[in-house]
Amino acid sequence: MGDAQVKFTLGERDIPTHWVNLMADLPGDGPPPLRAGGDGVLQPAGPDDLSPIFPMSLILQEVSAEPLVEIPDAVREAYKLWRPTPLFRARRLERELDTPAHIYYKYEGGSPPGSHKANTAVAQAYENAQAGIKKLTTETGAGQWGSALAFACQMFGLECEVWMVGSSYDQKPYRRSMMQTWGATVHRSPSDLTAAGRAQSEHTTGSLGIAISEAVEVAAQNPEANYSLGSVLNHVLLHQTVIGQEAIAQLEMAGEYPDTVIACVGGGSNFGGLTFPFLRRVIRGQAQTRFIAAEPAACPTLTRGVYAYDFGDTVGMTPLMPMYTLGHGFVPPPVHAGGLRYHGDAPLVCGLVKQGLVEPRAYRQNETFEAAVRFARAEGVIPAPEPAHAIRAVIQEAEAAREAGESRVILFGLCGHGHFDLSAYDAYLAGRLEDPEFSEDDLAAALASLPEAPALA
């Protein structure tokens, strides 16, 4: 016991020099995003559709076919504030589960904003600063992404303006104070600063869809401002691949390679960041690994959605994207895993599910909190509600290994801490946590919001 290693630590020099672009490994071009032209006819969306709100360097990353994309020096420098992140072997959890499985977790909660979101936030802030942009706008729900972008803008001398969903703004002031401490301006959405917000004046508690519309509107109208998105898009997933690359190096230190890699999925950036470097090896025939994507049963995009073209936002302003979706009009019930409450998913991740390379699983809210408390008591770290879904899957897999009598190696992503989610833990421990279901009627109602578009194979 006294000599058993639990923490695998890399030095600053081991921060990856490149991001892993999985698009280079996928057979052929996937279905393109579509945009209605001036004549109303749908056609593939191009760089010009994105350039009013994104810098060209990020648009080029979005469509890049290069297998590796170099990380700029200034971004690696910013990464040094919290990277490399530690990889832990969960020996206490293994004992608690009485499993022969070896369980490893890659912990991203040590970044200043407390999650993996910082990995893309600094990359996006840097590229926008290089392009001469003075301000970034974005939306945030409970505040994870908004605080990551506020932090990153402060690092690169950009203004940051965040539209925060009204109900969170009122009820969760800590994340707002965090953004303000890093110098960001935070608006309660709907605000009277935008046409989109003013049109919603009676809609006092707001929604993510409205907040997106407000942030995009301000960015599109101001040539010195751009918009920034925290998940879903290819370049965002690209930036997160530092996670999986470090995990490979750390597992080598441990003399292991994973049989199963597990991560939660909301928009897909945490999942892609951890799995893509491992998936590349599988696609290239260099390894055999299972991948499990864990999502909430209350928002079961990958497990019960349809593979179809849909809008990325609620209002319908974005291009149509090929993905598993519940319909862009679907408003998920207010589960505490706010980062997983998304009707769709990253097209890259959806394509991998479609191909059968990734197995999706859905879990109910109460069973994920049960798993989270079990993890916190064994390992110390209190997980955010999002990665608690991954932990639920890990426990399932560890129990399966025990039943099979096999010493399987399981790796999962612990993408953030739960310091701002303790009221949810309180509700769970007091037996007052809601446990929403998702019925066939809910599904039918949600899918009714799918737009007219070409079918996907």
- Where does this chain bind its own copies (CB under 8 A)? 1-2, 4-7, 9-12, 73-74, 76-77, 80-82, 88, 92, 110-112, 114, 151, 154-155, 173-174, 176-178, 180-183, 373, 376-377, 379-382, 419-420, 422-423, 425-426, 429
Nearer to its own copies, 78 or 293 (CB): 78
Q: How far is the CB of 268 from its own copies (least distance, A)?
A: 25
Burial class (CB in 10 A: 0-12, 13-18, 19+), 160: buried
DSSP codes of every residue in 125-185 = HHHHHHTT--EEEEEESSSHHHHHHHHHHHHTT-EEEEEEEHHHHHH-HHHHHHHHHTT-E
* Closest distance to its own copies from the beta carbon of 420 (Å): 7
How many angstroms separate the CA atoms of 42 and 35, rounded?
Answer: 5
Kindly tell me which of 309 and 369 has the beta carbon lying closer to its own copies: 369
> Minimum distance between the CB of residue 116 and its own copies, rounded to whole angstroms?
15
109, 414 Cβ separation under 8 angstroms: yes
Distance, first Cα to last Cα, the chain: 53
Instruction: Say how far residue 408 (Cα) sits from the centre of its chain.
Output: 26
- Is residue 290 classed as helix, strand or coil in its secondary structure? strand
167 burial level (CB within 10 Å; 0-12, 13-18, 19+): middle
List strands edge to edge, sheet with 306-311: 42-44, 34-36, 320-325, 306-311
- State the minimum distance, in angstroms, from the CB of residue 47 to its own copies: 29
Residue (350 or 390) nearer to its own copies, CB = 390
Please state the closest distance from residue 73 (CB atom) to its own copies, in A: 3
Q: Which residues pair with 262 in a beta bridge?
A: 292, 412
Rounded to a whole number of angstroms, the minimum distance from the CB of residue 134 to its own copies is 17
| Minimum distance from residue 376 beta carbon to its own copies (Å) | 5
Nearest to 258 by CA among 92, 87, 373, 416: 87
Complex with its own copies: residue 76 or 290, whichever CB lies closer: 76
The nearer residue to its own copies, 188 or 354, going by C-beta atoms, is: 188
Taking the least distance from each CB to its own copies, the nearer of 107 and 271 is 107
Q: Classify the phi-psi angles of 36: left when phi > 0, otherwise alpha if psi is within -120 to 50, otherwise beta.
A: beta
Residue nearer to its own copies on the CB measure, 121 or 210: 121
- Please, what is the minimum distance in Å from the beta carbon of residue 93 to its own copies? 12
Nearest to 243 by CA among 218, 264, 212: 264
- Kindly tell me which of 82 and 257 has the beta carbon lying closer to its own copies: 82
